[in-house]
Amino acid sequence: MAKTEVVRARINPELKRNVEALLSKLGLTTTEAITLFFRQIELCNGLPFPVELPNEKTRDVFEKTDRGEELVECEDAEGMFQRLNV
């Protein structure tokens, strides 16, 4: 099928640069990534991930980590799992 439609959107320039750099590392163009996203929407008959508002506890954790509070640092994955008692 020929590609004849155009999608235009205004987006934060820093976000665009960051995402395009990541996509480049993945070997994808912005057009290919948007096409993948649209295909997933089509296949899922909606967004391919849940979209919901965080609950109060989650919002509290986000706010604390944004402020650099109550963070736990681990040397590696093994140390993380030990801290989690898994």
pLDDT in tens, 6-53: 999 999 999 999 999 999 999 999 999 999 999 999 999 999 999 999
pLDDT value, residue 9: 95
The continuous run of DSSP H or E covering 30 comes out as helix 30-44
CA distance 47 to 53: 15
Domain ranges of the chain: 1-50, 52-86
CA distance 9 to 11: 6
pLDDT value, residue 86: 67
Pick the CATH number of 1-50 from 1.10.645.10, 3.40.50.2300, 1.10.20.10, 1.10.1220.10: 1.10.1220.10
pLDDT value, residue 16: 97
